[in-house]
């Protein structure tokens, strides 16, 4: 059971972390060049200043499903220690 929980955590981190990291690096690169990152198109804009939009606002289902998966993995990992029967 513990392997399933660890595998679920790893998949959750990868599914959420990779898109978040790719975007964070793109935003950082754009800002380093003196531009403004357009979150709606995913492009660096050198002429117009764009407002910041959080990752959770733009990708709510990804964030919510990842949080639910992490919670499920925590229940699998720590449920047995508390005497809770986990199938």
What's the average pLDDT block by block, 10 residues per block, for the chain (87 residues)?
A: 77 85 95 94 93 89 85 77 57
- 34 backbone dihedrals φ, ψ, rounded to 5°: 90, 15
Extract the runs of DSSP E, i.e. beta strands, from the chain: 36-38, 43-45
Residue where the block lists tokens 């929980």: 5
Tell me, what's the pLDDT at 35? 95
Tell me, what's the pLDDT at 45? 95
- 43 backbone dihedrals φ, ψ, rounded to 5°: -120, 155
End-to-end CA distance of the chain: 9
Q: pTM surpassing 0.75?
A: no
Domain definitions of the chain by residue range: 2-78
């Amino acid at each position: 059971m513990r392997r399933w929980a660890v595998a679920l955590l790893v998949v959750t981190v990868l599914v959420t972390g990779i898109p978040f990291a790719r975007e964070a690096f793109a935003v950082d690169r754009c800002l380093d060049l003196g531009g403004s990152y357009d979150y709606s198109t995913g492009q660096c804009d050198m002429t117009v200043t764009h407002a910041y939009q959080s990752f959770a606002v733009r990708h709510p289902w990804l964030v919510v499903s990842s949080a639910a998966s992490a919670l499920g993995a925590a229940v699998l990992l720590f449920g047995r220690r508390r005497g809770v029967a986990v199938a």
